[in-house]
């Protein structure tokens, strides 16, 4: 049976805390990871999005669920109707491109229930290491949208929301300044 996630709103001070390293996941946290994967997958499938009244989302971090631990979950629709799940415990970006990109339409967040205008500068490519939910070491080289998703979710672990990166004096870039995707 599908159970909607209880996602904290941006006003909750828990979202601004730096998360703690994970040594071991509890059974309920393992269950929450599965629930988050289902929620994120359903939110990207129009039929389920409407049926369960979900806001579309690609990723979520444990702080958004009120848990102060370094865990991120990303469900990437890499092809229409095909999804790849990324669960990273204690993720770290170990390298990144020099090239910067921004989502042309801006970023959104399941904890931010309003439109926020502006471009968020991100690395075009990142290499992320961490462990999966079973304690196995893993490494991924993410590009473009997936790179943005990893940076967005890892920011949550440090108490950073996407709009913290938007330049208040000049919220939008043009194509000469940054590659918009």
Indicate which residue of 104, 153, 175, 177 is catalytic: 153
Q: Is-contact 58 44, C-beta < 8 A?
A: yes
* Residue in this structure with the two tokens 């996407």, named with its chain if needed: 162
Task: Tell me the C-alpha distance between 126 and 114, whole Å.
Answer: 28
Q: Is-contact 148 122, C-beta < 8 A?
A: yes
Look up residue 20 and give its two tokens.
């703690």
Q: Is-contact 93 128, C-beta < 8 A?
A: yes
153 is annotated as an active-site residue: yes
Q: What is the CA radius of gyration of the chain?
A: 16
Active-site residue set: 153
């Amino acid at each position: 049976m599908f159970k909607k996630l209880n996602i904290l709103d941006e006003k909750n001070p828990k979202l601004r805390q730096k998360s703690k390293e994970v040594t071991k996941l509890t059974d309920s946290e393992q269950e929450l990871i599965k629930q988050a994967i289902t929620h994120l997958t359903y939110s990207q499938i129009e039929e389920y999005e409407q049926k369960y009244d979900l806001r579309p989302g690609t990723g979520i971090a444990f702080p958004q669920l009120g848990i102060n631990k370094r865990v991120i979950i990303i469900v990437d629709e890499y092809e229409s109707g095909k999804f790849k799940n990324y669960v990273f415990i204690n993720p770290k970006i170990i390298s990144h491109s020099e090239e910067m990109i921004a989502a042309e339409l801006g970023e959104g967040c399941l904890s931010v229930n309003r439109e926020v205008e502006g471009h968020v500068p991100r690395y075009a490519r990142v290499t992320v290491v961490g462990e999966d939910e079973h304690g196995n070491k893993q490494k991924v080289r993410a590009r473009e949208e997936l790179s943005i998703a990893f940076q967005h979710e890892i920011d949550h672990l440090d108490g950073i929301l996407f709009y913290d990166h938007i330049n208040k004096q000049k919220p939008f870039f043009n194509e000469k300044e940054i590659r918009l995707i």
